[in-house]
A and B are shown apart, each in its own frame.
Chain A
């Protein structure tokens, strides 16, 4: 039994190693900017993002505040999909939901029991997976449920593509997006998207949760450039002060904020 498990693990590592060897052309830099809404401590931040070199996936989840322990569920989802080889599909989501630690209601207060029974734990999710290269191009597969947003910019920071799923413009926010729930049905709202994106060396990808996404869409509609929209990208430790002012002045909606930047250097 032990030998069998060990063999399977060796095979998994061999495949990952093989994949990494084939992909040595592209090097990825990843930065994650995240913070809780204004006036709240870090512990309340229900956004979670992770980049895994092992599985070459980056995932971002935004826990729905008005559900049961959304931060824990968002982190579990992200870890499950970045640290395993689960295919990016609705069935994998259901598998993850079933694996989420069961809760003993006797340990909970009555409002928590009410939240758990009524809403379960809910989160949006976006995963980007880097497909093994076959040419100079970098191919990416994305999978999204809810309103996490994705932007691709070229080496000159010019915005090439922006995916505002499930929206098309800033005026569409805020709506009630789809989500992934721990209680069945696990997929709430028919909003999962699976698309292929091609990027080039020097490009950058930006994944963001809804409040930043709305701000981004509005700014882009006003004709601002990426550097104007996210000025903190070129400053060290600029995100905290920028986001503080942006939320205080109403430029960005008060919410947990997360931006993931991936550069193909």
Chain B
């Protein structure tokens, strides 16, 4: 039986007697929880910590925590928000046991199952500071409290009514209350496509296309749909600024701005101008299908300077947000089939997503494409220990999917879990198209569409 446990990391780190925080207490807790599960790999442990924990730890513990956050072993909740609703919602949606020494009194109304006697869903821990060992016992037991190892043999289901969505969804959204600005001419948004054009993109991906051809086709499709979404009353309104950066090769030519008239220093083009650059086939009024347009050609050559393209995108976003503080924040799609050849892109990606408008931080969605669907990942909330280093890096640099986009994705028939990141690994062609549709959905956000 697959069992799941969600750990309130910040609380387990705390030593109430000494009023100090020790990261090793949390590591010991995870170890002992894993032991309680029998160590047969059927146990999933999810650890949440709040953003303030790192400031309460010693320097060495802080480094350990940051390393575990980077590797995806620990999930940090957004600054300024309590971790409690993230923990409880995750437990609710995954039928998981909550391990904490907190009573969550403020959340009983929204999550009534946490105080239900005998539910076996709520576990507290006693830490032996001499042995450095935890004992986990059921809280709100119907009779004698059961040990965690026994509770893990019971199947847990949230049989009570689900929590009130409005309140919880608000807290669950990593960008609480954000990513909701309507896109108007006064407040346009920005969309950037980062296309891997390295030599490996020459490989065949689908039956019809090489990777480079398919990706160019998807971006052309996305640009075409953006143009239609911005067409109102006889003209194309400047609702979106577009940039398309291709990366493949070496040195100064490793990154190129692919829309004519733009440069890597000034890569943005208003969608109103983009329409003029389109290559359209001969239109015939008798043709039942809609006319089509293209902008991007397939290219596959050289190395994969992902770090370089992130830095160029960061420079562009940095100046864009300065003049668009009231806008829906920029969204960046990075479509690639491999690892960066110019160093770890984590830092440049982190800088990129730090730029924000009043409506939220820049979003970075990553689509790693592969003809091999083995070990594929779709909008994961966390990575398990089996995930390879490349997947970990890409997972970590990808943004959480905001609640507003998650709801739009649902309308498109794409299910994205509450704490998921905008990340596809070993993705198929249709999954990449789906991600582009989800990410550009705010531009089509007309309730009557």
The answer to whether A and B belong to the same complex is yes
Chain A residues at the B interface, C-beta cutoff of 8 Å: 37-40, 43-44, 62-66, 69, 71, 105-106, 109-115, 117-118, 122, 124, 146-147, 171, 173-177, 179, 210-211, 250, 253-255
- The complex places the Cα of A115 from the Cα of B224 at a distance, in Å, of 11
Residue B236, interface by CB 8 Å: yes
Enumerate B167-192 residues with CB–CB distance to A below 8 Å: 177, 180-182, 184-187
The stretch of B282-290, B365-373, B432-440 in contact with A is B282-290
- The complex places the Cα of A66 from the Cα of B442 at a distance, in Å, of 13
A176 neighbours in B (Cβ, 8 Å)? 411, 449
Whether B448 lies near A110 (C-beta < 8 A) is: no
A110 neighbours in B (Cβ, 8 Å)? 275, 278, 280, 283, 291, 293
A171 neighbours in B (Cβ, 8 Å)? 165
The contact size tier of chain B is 35 or more
A147 neighbours in B (Cβ, 8 Å)? 447-448
A63 neighbours in B (Cβ, 8 Å)? 448
Q: A44-B232, A111-B231, A255-B447 are in contact. Are A37 and B283 (CB under 8 A)?
A: no
Q: Would you mind naming 27 contact pairs between A and B with Cβ atoms under 8 Å apart?
A: A38-B184, A38-B186, A39-B184, A39-B186, A43-B233, A44-B232, A44-B237, A64-B446, A64-B448, A65-B448, A66-B444, A105-B285, A106-B285, A109-B275, A111-B227, A111-B228, A112-B234, A113-B291, A114-B291, A117-B288, A147-B447, A175-B447, A176-B411, A177-B447, A210-B448, A253-B447, A254-B181
Whether A146 lies near B448 (C-beta < 8 A) is: yes
Residue B401, interface by CB 8 Å: no
Give me the 5 closest cross-chain CB pairs, A-B, nearest first.
A254-B182, A174-B447, A39-B186, A39-B184, A114-B290
Whether A39 lies near B448 (C-beta < 8 A) is: no
Whether B448 lies near A117 (C-beta < 8 A) is: no
- The complex places the Cα of A100 from the Cα of B446 at a distance, in Å, of 24
A250 neighbours in B (Cβ, 8 Å)? 177, 180
- The complex places the Cα of A122 from the Cα of B228 at a distance, in Å, of 15
- The complex places the Cα of A165 from the Cα of B283 at a distance, in Å, of 41
- The complex places the Cα of A76 from the Cα of B230 at a distance, in Å, of 23
B283 neighbours in A (Cβ, 8 Å)? 105, 110, 113
- Select A254's contact among B184, B233, B285, B288, beta carbons within 8 Å: B184
CB distance from A140 to the nearest CB of B (A): 25
**Which of B186, B291, B444, B446: most chain A Cβ within 10 A?**
B446
Residue B229, interface by CB 8 Å: yes
- The complex places the Cα of A211 from the Cα of B446 at a distance, in Å, of 10
Whether B182 lies near A37 (C-beta < 8 A) is: yes
- Select A39's contact among B187, B229, B289, B293, beta carbons within 8 Å: B187
- The complex places the Cα of A113 from the Cα of B265 at a distance, in Å, of 34
Q: A39-B186, A40-B185, A117-B290 are in contact. Are A66 and B449 (CB under 8 A)?
A: yes
- The complex places the Cα of A65 from the Cα of B444 at a distance, in Å, of 9
- The complex places the Cα of A118 from the Cα of B187 at a distance, in Å, of 27
Q: A37-B184, A38-B182 are in contact. Are A173 and B447 (CB under 8 A)?
A: yes
- The complex places the Cα of A65 from the Cα of B185 at a distance, in Å, of 14
A179 neighbours in B (Cβ, 8 Å)? 448
B187 neighbours in A (Cβ, 8 Å)? 39
CB distance from A129 to the nearest CB of B (A): 24
A37 neighbours in B (Cβ, 8 Å)? 182, 184
CB distance from A218 to the nearest CB of B (A): 10
- Closest-by-CB residue of B relative to A177 is B448
- The complex places the Cα of A173 from the Cα of B407 at a distance, in Å, of 12
**Which of A113, A124, A211: most chain B Cβ within 10 A?**
A113
- The complex places the Cα of A79 from the Cα of B285 at a distance, in Å, of 29
- Closest-by-CB residue of B relative to A62 is B448
- Closest-by-CB residue of B relative to A111 is B231
CB distance from A46 to the nearest CB of B (A): 8
- Select A115's contact among B184, B231, B289, beta carbons within 8 Å: B231
A173 neighbours in B (Cβ, 8 Å)? 447
**Which of B187, B231, B237, B289: most chain A Cβ within 10 A?**
B231
Whether A65 lies near B446 (C-beta < 8 A) is: yes
- Closest-by-CB residue of A relative to B237 is A44
CB distance from B76 to the nearest CB of A (A): 27
B278 neighbours in A (Cβ, 8 Å)? 110
- The complex places the Cα of A40 from the Cα of B280 at a distance, in Å, of 30
A124 neighbours in B (Cβ, 8 Å)? 448
B228 neighbours in A (Cβ, 8 Å)? 66, 111, 114-115, 118
Whether A66 lies near B234 (C-beta < 8 A) is: no
- The complex places the Cα of A117 from the Cα of B288 at a distance, in Å, of 7
CB distance from B384 to the nearest CB of A (A): 34
Enumerate B289-319 residues with CB–CB distance to A below 8 Å: 289-291, 293
Whether A111 lies near B275 (C-beta < 8 A) is: yes
- Closest-by-CB residue of B relative to A174 is B447
- The complex places the Cα of A179 from the Cα of B289 at a distance, in Å, of 22
- The complex places the Cα of A38 from the Cα of B283 at a distance, in Å, of 36
- Closest-by-CB residue of A relative to B281 is A110
- The complex places the Cα of A71 from the Cα of B278 at a distance, in Å, of 27
B231 neighbours in A (Cβ, 8 Å)? 111-112, 114-115
- Closest-by-CB residue of A relative to B285 is A105
Enumerate B246-285 residues with CB–CB distance to A below 8 Å: 275, 278, 280, 283, 285
- The complex places the Cα of A7 from the Cα of B275 at a distance, in Å, of 54
Whether A66 lies near B291 (C-beta < 8 A) is: no
B290 neighbours in A (Cβ, 8 Å)? 113-114, 117-118
B447 neighbours in A (Cβ, 8 Å)? 147, 173-175, 177, 210-211, 253, 255
CB distance from B89 to the nearest CB of A (A): 18
- The complex places the Cα of A10 from the Cα of B347 at a distance, in Å, of 80
A211 neighbours in B (Cβ, 8 Å)? 447
A43 neighbours in B (Cβ, 8 Å)? 233
A146 neighbours in B (Cβ, 8 Å)? 448
- The complex places the Cα of A71 from the Cα of B447 at a distance, in Å, of 16
Whether B449 lies near A64 (C-beta < 8 A) is: yes
- 8 A-B pairs besides A37-B182, A117-B288 with CB distance below 8 A are A39-B184, A39-B186, A40-B184, A65-B446, A66-B446, A113-B290, A173-B447, A255-B182
A177 neighbours in B (Cβ, 8 Å)? 447-448
- The complex places the Cα of A251 from the Cα of B144 at a distance, in Å, of 50
- The complex places the Cα of A265 from the Cα of B177 at a distance, in Å, of 43
Whether A69 lies near B275 (C-beta < 8 A) is: no
CB distance from B247 to the nearest CB of A (A): 29
A111 neighbours in B (Cβ, 8 Å)? 227-228, 231, 236, 275
Q: A106-B285, A176-B411, A250-B180 are in contact. Are A69 and B233 (CB under 8 A)?
A: yes
